[in-house]
Amino acid sequence: MQNTFLGATYEFKNPSLLEKIYPYINYLEITPDSISTFDGKRSYIPNEIIDEIKALSADKKIVVHGVGLSIGSFDGYSEEYLNLLDSLYDKIDFEWHSEHLGYTKVSGESLGTMLSLPRTNETLDMICERVNEIMKRYNKEFLLENIIRIVPDYKSDFREAEFMNKISESTGCGFILDVYNLECDNYNHGFDIEGYIDELDLSKVKEIHIANGSIEDGFMLDAHCGTVMDSTIELTKKIINLPGNCVKLINYELLDEAIPLLGEDVIAEEYKRLNGIFN
């Protein structure tokens, strides 16, 4: 098994929870969009939060995981997101940064969700060009994450893993493999998880996401609101034991909204359990 470490997403709103899970984690995953403030003209990351990240980085590794880049929007990705990332890049030493292979905006209008891309030659060229631009702008490793498929698939030129591999081959970017998202796609669409993992270039998977969600009207959603299912843990164990993988971080994703529902003690116990399994 690789030397993997556990991480947590942190939004700087729950210091008491952070204190409880602190012994069990080695990484903190920061989402620029969630820690930013809007002053009526622009979004920015407050200095107090920058200072807090700096203090935490003394003994936890920091990784950056955005949600607002919208790399797949036909009319371009979000400069506003990159401005936020610029402000972190200048002040914080993070290990790598990442985003989702999808889009959240159409013609500048927010969709309120994230949709997966048609896997065509045209999309491949567009995404590779943009990944190259981003990797040129920041001297840091950049990872793309698989998202769940909400709407039916568009006619494709590539299989899912083949498409990811092509992007990496052409740009040098790595991957976040969200294991729970694979399980959602399997539940919702009969997605072939085994085939995906067999085909994906595991030497590019630097980070794994584990989470739990909910089933609404028969549809499994990546709601990030629960403790991790056994199936997710088993699948993750299987992946990190496969030859050639380079997974460094297993991040347990939990939305801030889920904290009062689960309770801090239950969450701390979950990190402890996961630490016992993966660290």
Task: Provide the binding-site residues for Fe ion, judged by CB under 5 A.
Answer: 145, 178, 209
Shortest separation between residue 209's beta carbon and Fe ion, angstroms: 3
Q: Is 133 helix (H, G, I), strand (E, B) or coil?
A: helix
Alpha helices in the chain (DSSP H): 15-21, 47-56, 79-91, 121-137, 160-171, 179-189, 193-199, 230-240, 259-262, 264-278
Pairwise CA distance, residues 72 & 88, whole Å:
23
Nearer to Fe ion, 101 or 121 (CB): 101
Shortest separation between residue 31's beta carbon and Fe ion, angstroms: 8
Nearer to Fe ion, 17 or 29 (CB): 29
Shortest separation between residue 179's beta carbon and Fe ion, angstroms: 9
Closest by CA position to 208, among listed 183, 178, 186, 180: 178
Nearer to Fe ion, 119 or 209 (CB): 209
Instruction: Write out the DSSP string of 149-206.
Output: --SPPPP-SS-HHHHHHHHHHHH--EEEEEHHHHHHHHHHH---HHHHHHHS-GGGEE
Asked if residues 270 and 227 have their Cβ atoms less than 8 Å apart, the reply is: yes
Q: How many residues does the chain have?
A: 279
Nearer to Fe ion, 120 or 227 (CB): 227
Alpha carbon of residue 276 to chain centroid: 22
Q: What's the one-letter identity of residue 80?
A: E
Shortest separation between residue 251's beta carbon and Fe ion, angstroms: 7
Pairwise CA distance, residues 175 & 164, whole Å:
8
Residue nearest to Fe ion (CB): 209
Nearer to Fe ion, 73 or 146 (CB): 146
Shortest separation between residue 245's beta carbon and Fe ion, angstroms: 17
Shortest separation between residue 147's beta carbon and Fe ion, angstroms: 7
Nearer to Fe ion, 166 or 209 (CB): 209
Nearer to Fe ion, 95 or 157 (CB): 95
Pairwise CA distance, residues 149 & 186, whole Å:
10
Shortest separation between residue 255's beta carbon and Fe ion, angstroms: 11
